[in-house]
Amino acid sequence: MIRACAGKIGVAMRIGIIVKPKHENALPALKELVSFLKSEKVDFRVDPSSAELLGAKVPVAERATLPKKSDLIIVLGGDGTLLAAARHIPPRKIPILGINLGRVGFLTEIPANEMVPALKLFLAGKASIQERMMLEASVFRKGKRLAKYRCLNDAVITKGALARIVPMKVATNSGLVADVFADGLILSTPTGSTAYNLAAGGPIVMPGLNALIMTPLCPQTLSLRPTVLPAEETVEITIVGNPEEVFLTSDGQMGSPLMPMDKVVVRRSSDSISLVMNPRMDYFSLLRDKLGWAGG
């Protein structure tokens, strides 16, 4: 779902800033952003690493508390920086404006040289915001939940570097899918369809859709192909046999080791994330730009 924002220039607007501090372009972009916000008298706060990078006295808030003190979060970095920031957003409906300082950025889709014009549109209430579904991935052992993760991109079950194939029983609330013998399994949102899912041969699904993408990693049964499920489906994966070094990871950043007979339950989260869209590009323009498709 795409909607217009309701921002406006003035002291009522509060902006939180998160930066990937070690990126070579981080400091120039951060200085430009802070200078613009000061010139417009917009209230802002930065995370501690951003304040350290600036080397100046500015209002600071920890990443975990920044959403509570902001009406917009601006992320300067790459998709990994935005994914890390997104963990702290729910349940607050705070939009994220992603500024790409890196290479391929499907989430941080606004180039650094277009940062100020995009922000002006948001502050004037003219930017478009798209809501993105998230996943909830839970680990159960002997009926007890050990961990729960929110995922904007994906939940991935995978083997360690030296481990053998992972045997899994995969079922949904519609019934048994299959006994799967593979290097792993990706459960992806449409937002994450252009991440690990795409590299593993999964389909690209437009991010405004509500769907769950299930992509096996190098399955023994070659006819076992990526499958797109309704967002309402719940997927339950049971680790069977006695595999070694099996892990669940959330957005490639957090996770848990898995043991035989552990169950991983993946369903649509009740939370979602709102992203400020690039005003110059539609989704296929983004794909052409990031994936090198022909057209112009």
Predicted pLDDT at 177: 96
Task: Say how many Å lie between the first and final Cα of the chain, rounded.
Answer: 26
Predicted pLDDT at 237: 98
Catalytic residues: 79
Residue spans of the chain under pLDDT 70 = 1-12, 103-104, 296
Q: What does pTM read for this prediction?
A: 0.91
Predicted pLDDT at 42: 95
Task: Identify the H or E element spanning 28.
Answer: helix 26-39
pLDDT tens-digit series, residues 173-220: 999 999 999 999 999 999 999 999 999 999 999 998 999 999 999 999
Eight-state DSSP code of residue 23: S
Predicted pLDDT at 8: 46
Query: Residue 43 CA to chain centroid, in angstroms?
Result: 26
Report the alpha-carbon distance of residue 103 to residue 106 in Å, rounded.
10
216 close to 182: Cβ distance less than 8 angstroms = yes
Eight-state DSSP code of residue 108: S
Eight-state DSSP code of residue 217: E
Cis check: omega of the bond before 91, within 30 degrees of 0: yes
Predicted pLDDT at 104: 66
User: What is the three-class DSSP state of 54?
Assistant: helix
For 291, the token pair is 């994936």
pLDDT tens-digit series, residues 6-24: 544 444 689 999 998 888 8
All structural domains of the chain, each given as residue ranges with its CATH number in brackets, are 2-127+277-291 (3.40.50.10330), 135-270 (2.60.200.30)
Predicted pLDDT at 161: 72
Task: Identify the H or E element spanning 240.
Answer: none
Predicted pLDDT at 171: 98
Report the alpha-carbon distance of residue 193 to residue 255 in Å, rounded.
19
Cα–Cα distance list, 290 to 26, 100, 101, 191, 228 (Å): 21, 12, 14, 14, 23
Dmax over CA atoms of the chain, in Å, equals 62
Report the alpha-carbon distance of residue 53 to residue 233 in Å, rounded.
44
Predicted pLDDT at 11: 40
